[in-house]
Amino acid sequence: MPDLSQVTRGRILFGGDYNPEQWPEEVWHEDVRLMKEAGVNSVTLGVFSWAKLEPRPGAREFGWLDRLMDLMHGNGVGVVLATPTSSPPPWMGRLHPETLPRDENGQIEWWGSRQHFSHSSDTYRRYAAAITEDLAARYGGHPALTMWHINNEYCTYDWGDEAAATFRDWLKRRYGTLDALNEAWGTAFWSQGYDGWHEILPPRRAHYMRNPTHVLDFKRFTSDMLLECYVIERDIVRRHTPHLPVTTNFMPMWVGQDAWRWAEEEDVVSVDIYPDPRDPFGAQNGALIQDMTRSQAGGGPWMLMEQAAGPVNWRGVNHPKPRGLNRLWSLQAVARGADAVCYFQWRQSRQGAEKFHSGMVSHAGEQGRTYQEVKQLGAELASIGAEVTGHHIPSDVAVLFDWNSWWAGAQDGRLSSEVDLPQVVRAWHRALWEAHITTAFAHPEHDLSPYRLVVVPQLYLLTDTAIENLLAYVRGGGTLVSGFLTGVADEDDRVRPGGMDARLRDLFGIRTLHEWWPLDAGEHVECAGLPGTFRGTLWSEEIEAADRDEAVPHVYRGGELDGLPAVLRKGRAWYVSTLPEPTALRGLLVRIADDAGVRPVLAGLPDGVEAVRRGEVLFVLNHGRDKVTVDIPGTHRDLLTGATVTGSLSLGRYGAAVLKP
């Protein structure tokens, strides 16, 4: 199987989306000069070029792209070639309005922006296949070509009539019979029983809450239909170039794609990461996506397909990256497994909807700080590439995450709209990140035996297979910590008897889960125990423990739940029925991890300093603005500077060291 290593060959890929059709050809030569000065070795071409390649149905205009491919090749820049199918040309919507998606209100998403295609449209798919076929045929043998990039940030929905038809087909495949569907959806409630497949629609706008399993299946269907679009194009390019890897770029922890399933269909897993430079947890959020993407890549190297050299333009207020931050976050990605550091986009647009999104070459041009920092980074990446590419990141801890559970848990008629799964996952990952415990992510049905500790921030929906997997993991000696709202529903979003699966209740020592007590925004509960009292937020539970002799590490103090268990422990299985405040959650996890034999990468690090080991190499990153001194046992060479580091290391603001023993 082709993979990223054949593209990197010991170098970290450095470059970005390149949309030269926005510029006169004389600028292309300026681009090449600046790319070479910056050490750019890879660009992605053609992401939004459909109208340029096929200005009217069936037409083909390849000349400009031929010249670009040759230009890149002639200058030693590899090309990741994109299929242009994420933005159909205007003629498609006009000639084939059925290719335009409709939202749940029946409103059309017109052309004039991007991603105005229905994943279910046969017409769209045919046109997309045809242009993909012709691109692959023409450039499959071009020496500049290193990889295929299918479409871009798949992220659309469609509630229209053609999607209704493919939804019914998908449901037939899933359920076989209408009886099975009616049973799975619980249509006996509210008189929703279907008597014919043709009665089923996407979950369109309705008077009141829609059937949650209907909505859940529509989310599954949407992810699957987009994946079908991807696979069709992937199979075409693969037929032409079986030796070249194929990818499509994820958005970070995007709700619309079950990335576990998608990653299985990719040769290279790639992702776009855009933390807000102002976010005090930006570095941790970046680390989380990096950990998740690496795990989707099977632990192997992955590709940072897009980041911003400066500001983005889609937030309310879009802040630039302060001096040094672009470098720091790029090195963090490498530390956590990226073998490609790329940007959207090479040269900042002067026109169009993203002209205020930064580029590697900003409006300020060559003299601008942005390009100057890019150039420095390019040199640094070149200096460390050989020592880090291809190397893996060891991890004894897995955090479990599942899209199905997210989708089901986010239903309308839930107990608390304050509970947002990504926020809960971030809170648990943050506790581990701040403790310098490098973490993998896993699906609840994955083999968990490689891990000493498995953390479940929240898995509202768990299949029977997943539950058995968790039980077997603990039986096998693993340590499991679970947050609240886990194991509530089965695969069809049917609440399990008792409000939580009986096997899990037994695992954690819960006799009766009397009531869930969600907390208001800003509300907290006190939890008392050893080593001290903490505050819980978001949630609490009225639980009767199975056995008074079991350990109840923390109980609620005060309020309606006074004296009832807040944290339960039965052997190596822990259940945390609230969201502890950050220091308490970190303390709890450190203690459990330590008992499970899990150690931090480095001990005694100053606040804001991150340490990650990749292969033999130790990355030390200072996310703070103050100078810090870090104790580093032994002697290392800093690959960035060539300096020898013995015993301790001094890092300035946003400073980084890449240390080889």
Q: Which residues does the annotation mark as catalytic?
A: 153, 306
- Does the annotation flag 152 for ligand binding? yes
- Does the annotation flag 114 for ligand binding? yes
Q: By C-alpha distance, which of 7, 19, 636, 634 is closest to 346?
A: 19
556 torsion bin: left (phi>0), alpha (psi -120 to 50), beta (else): beta
Residue among 412, 468, 547, 595 that touches a copy of itself (CB under 8 A): 412
Please spell the DSSP secondary structure of 562-585, one letter per residue.
Answer: TTSEEEEEETTEEEE-SEE-HHHH
Smallest distance, a copy of itself to C-beta of residue 6, A: 30
Residue with tokens 């603001």: 653
Residues 509-528 that bind a copy of itself (CB under 8 A): 512-521
Smallest distance, a copy of itself to C-beta of residue 71, A: 17
Residues 165-204 that bind a copy of itself (CB under 8 A): 185-196, 198-201, 203-204
Task: Read off the DSSP letter of residue 83.
Answer: P
Smallest distance, a copy of itself to C-beta of residue 186, A: 2
Q: Is the peptide bond before 633 cis (omega within 30 degrees of 0)?
A: no
Task: Look at strands 249-250 and 270-272 and give their pairing.
Answer: parallel
208 binds a copy of itself (CB under 8 A): yes
Q: By C-alpha distance, which of 582, 576, 574, 540 is closest to 557?
A: 540
Q: For a copy of itself, how many residues bind (rule: CB under 8 A)?
A: 114
**Closer CB to a copy of itself, residue 89 or residue 565?**
89
Task: From 3-11, 52-60, 226-234, 636-644, give the range in contact with a copy of itself by CB under 8 A.
Answer: 52-60
Chain-centroid distance of CA 268 in Å reads: 14
Residues 346-375 that bind a copy of itself (CB under 8 A): 349-357, 362-365, 367-370
**Closer CB to a copy of itself, residue 52 or residue 452?**
52
**Closer CB to a copy of itself, residue 205 or residue 599?**
205
In sequence order, what are the beta bridge partners of 660?
637
Residues 420-439 that bind a copy of itself (CB under 8 A): none
Residues 86-145 that bind a copy of itself (CB under 8 A): 87-91, 94, 101, 105-116
Q: Which two tokens stand for residue 95?
A: 């000639």
In sequence order, what are the beta bridge partners of 347?
361
CA atoms 595, 598, 604, 607: torsion sign: negative
Residue among 1, 26, 58, 207 that touches a copy of itself (CB under 8 A): 207
**Closer CB to a copy of itself, residue 366 or residue 594?**
366
Residue among 323, 475, 591, 599 that touches a copy of itself (CB under 8 A): 323
Nearest-5° angle of CA 42, CA 370, CA 350? 80
Residues 538-557 that bind a copy of itself (CB under 8 A): 542
- Does the annotation flag 302 for ligand binding? no
655 binds a copy of itself (CB under 8 A): no
Residue among 15, 16, 78, 84 that touches a copy of itself (CB under 8 A): 84
Task: Read off the DSSP letter of residue 100.
Answer: S
Smallest distance, a copy of itself to C-beta of residue 498, A: 6
Smallest distance, a copy of itself to C-beta of residue 345, A: 10
Cβ(462)–Cβ(479) under 8 Å? no
48 binds a copy of itself (CB under 8 A): yes
Residues 142-161 that bind a copy of itself (CB under 8 A): 156
Residues 212-231 that bind a copy of itself (CB under 8 A): 212-214
Residue 424 has a CB neighbour count (10 Å cut-off) of 19
**Closer CB to a copy of itself, residue 316 or residue 476?**
316
Residues 592-631 that bind a copy of itself (CB under 8 A): none
Residues 238-277 that bind a copy of itself (CB under 8 A): none
Q: Which two tokens stand for residue 652?
A: 């300035």
Residues 560-579 that bind a copy of itself (CB under 8 A): 560
Smallest distance, a copy of itself to C-beta of residue 360, A: 14
Q: By C-alpha distance, which of 94, 19, 87, 82 is closest to 50?
A: 87
Residue among 2, 36, 52, 140 that touches a copy of itself (CB under 8 A): 52
**Closer CB to a copy of itself, residue 105 or residue 173?**
105
Residue 374 has a CB neighbour count (10 Å cut-off) of 28
Residue among 39, 160, 245, 310 that touches a copy of itself (CB under 8 A): 310
> Which string of x and - marks every residue 324-343 that binds a copy of itself (by CB under 8 A)?
--------------------
Residues 130 and 136: their CA atoms lie apart, in Å, by 10
Q: What is the three-state SS of 368-411?
A: CHHHHHHHHHHHHHHHHHHHHCCCCCCCCEEEECCHHHHHHHCC
**Closer CB to a copy of itself, residue 368 or residue 615?**
368
**Closer CB to a copy of itself, residue 434 or residue 492?**
492
Buried b (16+ CB within 10 A) or exposed e, 34-48: bbeebbbbbbbbbbb
Taken as a whole, the chain contains a residue count of 661
Residues 472-511 that bind a copy of itself (CB under 8 A): 492-495, 497-499
Q: By C-alpha distance, which of 272, 246, 244 is closest to 257?
A: 272
Task: From 231-239, 386-394, 413-421, 450-458, give the range in contact with a copy of itself by CB under 8 A.
Answer: 413-421
Smallest distance, a copy of itself to C-beta of residue 211, A: 6
**Closer CB to a copy of itself, residue 90 or residue 390?**
90
With 0-12 / 13-18 / 19 or more C-beta atoms within 10 angstroms meaning exposed / middle / buried, residue 417 is exposed
Judged by DSSP in three states, 453 sits in strand
Residues 425 and 534: their CA atoms lie apart, in Å, by 19
The CB-based long-range contact list for 643-646 (8 Å cut-off, 24+ gap) reads: none
Binding residues for substrate: 114, 152, 314
Binding residues: 114, 152, 314
